[in-house]
Chain A
């Protein structure tokens, strides 16, 4: 019988308490050193063939008979009142079926507002109207024929301008709002007592996700049921959003996401495009497709906030005495803020600490979660400042960190960590990079004008996961298995590792397991975000597989007339003392049947703090005359519990390092302050790393010890950890190489050359 229990989960730096439904007892975790059949083995992705042949169907590839195409008219102004819209010409264009805008669209609740099309548009790219037409080209042409009368209003797009006094007030209580604060000890006094103090300002620029598959949906209303194909990290979240917007019961909404072309946090729930597509479909009775263009993606589908961060950090006698961290983040029109002070609050055992995080509203597109939101920005500032302090104190920056990194307790909430091996990460990383080669002032590079340096930075993140997450395991009479869950595979390899967990626990071959996910008709699966999928869905799958196995062995006992206790299931074969009988043979002797195992994730221990830890080390070469940075080697060491699939885990880390490399060196959104327009809403001038930007060497290491208190797999998440510390490690390596401290990410040539000039003037 299911029962309700209280659970405490961390999600992207925030703690949530909830009531969850669980059933039965959790399984014990396998001890360290267990030899598995599938877990802890490098396995090729089970969907690889679909992906390399082009047969994998992404949302973008859904073309339904009779489907209409939607294009959205977006505000060209950062702030304006939409006074009048004339769609007569557009409606007359051949192929145009319908136009929606604020004067004719039905009410639809969306993120606290009552409508999709605002009266006051608040950023360049805000939705003004939408056209459904027989083909995309007609919809595009129709957009040009819509006449809109805008009343222009004063705007502000820049973070620092918005904080200042002269900016227009966008909210009644101003543009700046306090969002999070933490205090322990007495930071003021700690700073006063310090022998060395660093007081520095750091900045990070707006990063755009640029998932290769843009946001989009295909909606199909058949008069009874709304089916929505959406490129999403959370099919159930989309269903919830559609229910709220369209006032349909869950039973009439089905959301599907089979293959998904990247999200990185930005596809966490329903989008206006899917509500618009659904509205059109319900009005017109035809399937409707609304897939964003690259430009729309970069205007209206989220970003990582630009930040301004002030840090004061004091040191004395080889230790950190106090830390003050204040952050302002440009959330655009977002309703929340990611917290850059998260790592400051939790990473190091520092007695005197005070932090504040402010949300700053501007006339720019909303932020959305972006792979370790807040933590990437905050870690850049925190870990740069710690290196600056170490430098000033004349101590080794790694040694300084070690003194504050060993505590088994979460310094913010005071609870014990379920497990922690950060010092081990430092040891492995230092050995791999050759930390002993590091010299204050850097080392010679490959040419007289090139300097080489080594730097490092630490990461802390959640990734412990938690309930709710459910799965079922269906075993067919031929012994093949279908694992079903509502989770989605956003490119992380979820399908593969869930199949491994299922095959391992059940005792069947990996090839015999099919995984069905990305469907709200499946058991509930959580959002694929917060590095929580493995640790949330994985344990549920294991329980479901165990449930199915118990039933199968029961059946086998009946068929073989052998006590169940004497039977084992191994690689699809039922093994007794004297005989091996294929599962298919046993089930084949019974009349048609389906064995269904069920599993749900059990709650976390509320007395523990579940975290992942890691450290990245970078070796760089800097051309001191051209400001060019070449990252030669990155060592990434992570403590994330048991590794389910070493091959895909390694890929995940490399990917995180490379996305961080973009944040560190080249990715930056440019907004024109006067017009509020994004100048680089494209892949030409928004510069994501190319293959040639990849460091000559990336070393990936895992502590790989099961976290016995985390969940029945002893595994935690890995999606976000590898993007967190890379930028700071690179900035620290650049400072080590050249003496130039760049306090603004990305470290472009302009910023590096400027910092080099300042460093030269000082020396």
Chain B
């Protein structure tokens, strides 16, 4: 890890001012410290955000959706009984995420911004396309954990467990910089690396995620989170699926299906979701939706199994909504 200077401001404005000078933001550190230890990033200074009290915790102002401060530790969301009832998919996804220690350290904002786990990307000795090199080594190399969908120049996969769950609740985020605040759908934060876009997130320099908001309308959705790993705990998803819907008189409304681990970004196919509007989520329609989500899958040498796995998890997740 390179040497760097460090500051722990108490106020957001101070943090934003410090970040203008090319500093990097540090929250739980579970990803950033790893990237620095691996020699993948060499910030001259870190701005520790954890001293900013206003960005921690969550609230539910009546009828105005649920607001989660970006610096809320994951473990607080996981252990809150209220949130367990309001956002059950979130709790399920967090219980499958990493470990107690990492969830104690890690924050919501940091989780959304974690970088991919591709082993060529994480290998300091390999200059892959995403790091400015000429080619993606995984396409012709060891690719059992890589993308089957939506990839172009780079076959990384979206690693977060929390993200598919939040997108299934139509989450939005607030991004704040010294120039002000903008809001976007969480789904829009994620970028498929291609062409000149050698990055994974739409965050601008000097910008911070300050808040995640779940709209009131989404809070009534029921749902589930399924995750396949190659051991029973503490692994990034081979495939994960967050599925949500409102069930009205036995039929599904506002269906959301979001996959992790299969594409460079959280994977959704709106047509598949729309196709289930008003469905009883019977076997045939769930299987059909799964096929639509996986249509166009282009597996590599070692990851064809993910297609089978993803199709089955989607089907199961959808079936469970009316179970």
Contact = CB atoms under 8 A, between A and B. Distances in A.
Interface of A: 76, 625-628, 630, 665-666, 670-675, 677, 679-680, 684-685, 687, 689-693, 748-750, 753-754
Contacts of B238: 749
A670 B125 CA distance: 16
B201 interface: no
B169 interface: no
23 contacts: A626-B308, A626-B309, A627-B308, A627-B309, A665-B231, A666-B231, A670-B144, A671-B142, A674-B141, A677-B125, A679-B119, A679-B142, A680-B119, A690-B231, A690-B232, A690-B233, A693-B231, A693-B232, A749-B228, A750-B302, A753-B308, A753-B309, A754-B305
A753 B144 CA distance: 14
A539 B308 CA distance: 57
A666 B230 contact: yes
Nearest to A76: B125
B42 to A, nearest CB: 11
Contact of B228 (A628, A685, A692, A754): A628
Counting chain A CB atoms within 10 Å of each CB, the highest count among B232, B309, B312, B313 belongs to B232
A675 B234 CA distance: 28
B313 A626 contact: yes
B322 interface: no
Nearest to B39: A144
Nearest to A77: B125
A56 to B, nearest CB: 23
B53 interface: no
A672 B141 contact: yes
Interface residues of B, number: 28
A300 B141 CA distance: 22
B116 to A, nearest CB: 13
Contacts of A670: 119, 142, 144
B304 A689 contact: no
Interface string B213-239: 000000000000000101111110010
B140 interface: yes
Interface in B274-323: 302-305, 308-309, 312-313
Contacts of B302: 750
B232 A626 contact: no
Contacts of B144: 670, 750
Grouping DSSP codes into helix (H, G, I), strand (E, B) and loop, the A interface class, with mixed when no group exceeds half, is: loop
Contact of A675 (B137, B232, B233, B312): B137
B197 interface: no
B14 interface: no
Given A679-B119, A749-B305, A750-B304, A672 B137 contact: yes
Contacts of A690: 231-234
B188 interface: no
Contacts of A680: 119
A672 B312 CA distance: 30
Contacts of A673: 141
A674 B141 CA distance: 8
Contacts of B142: 670-672, 679
B120 interface: yes
Contacts, number: 74
A582 B84 CA distance: 65
B126 interface: yes
A687 B117 contact: no
A744 to B, nearest CB: 13
B155 to A, nearest CB: 14
Given A625-B312, A753-B308, A679 B231 contact: no
Interface in B144-192: 144-145
A630 B228 CA distance: 13
A76 B39 CA distance: 15
Interface of B: 117, 119-120, 123, 125-126, 137, 140-142, 144-145, 228, 230-235, 238, 302-305, 308-309, 312-313
A672 B123 CA distance: 12
Given A626-B308, A626-B313, A749-B228, 18 more contacts: A626-B309, A627-B308, A630-B232, A670-B144, A672-B120, A674-B140, A674-B141, A675-B126, A677-B123, A679-B119, A679-B120, A680-B119, A687-B231, A689-B231, A693-B231, A693-B233, A749-B238, A750-B303
A677 B127 CA distance: 13
B241 to A, nearest CB: 12
Contact of A687 (B125, B126, B230, B303): B230
B235 A687 contact: yes
A685 B231 CA distance: 11
A470 B145 CA distance: 52
Contacts of A679: 119-120, 123, 141-142
A120 B254 CA distance: 63
Contacts of B141: 672-674, 679
A83 B303 CA distance: 40
Contact of B126 (A677, A685, A748, A754): A677
A191 to B, nearest CB: 35
The 10 closest A-B pairs by CB, nearest first: A750-B305, A692-B232, A692-B233, A679-B119, A625-B312, A690-B233, A666-B231, A693-B232, A670-B142, A753-B305
A3 B140 CA distance: 64
Contacts of B231: 665-666, 687, 689-690, 692-693
Contacts of B235: 687
B194 to A, nearest CB: 23
A702 B71 CA distance: 54
A626 B117 contact: no
Nearest to A684: B117
A301 B310 CA distance: 37
A679 B302 CA distance: 14
Contacts of B304: 750
Contacts of A749: 228, 230, 238, 305, 309
Contacts of A630: 232
A333 B312 CA distance: 43
A679 to B, nearest CB: 4
Given A76-B125, A750-B302, A753-B305, A626 B312 contact: yes
Nearest to B2: A141
A666 B235 CA distance: 11
Contacts of B232: 630, 690, 692-693
Contacts of B137: 672, 674-675
A216 to B, nearest CB: 19
Contacts of A665: 231
B72 to A, nearest CB: 25
Nearest to A625: B312
A665 B231 CA distance: 8
B228 A626 contact: yes
Contact of B230 (A674, A677, A748, A753): A748
A56 B313 CA distance: 47
Contacts of B234: 690, 692
A679 B303 CA distance: 16
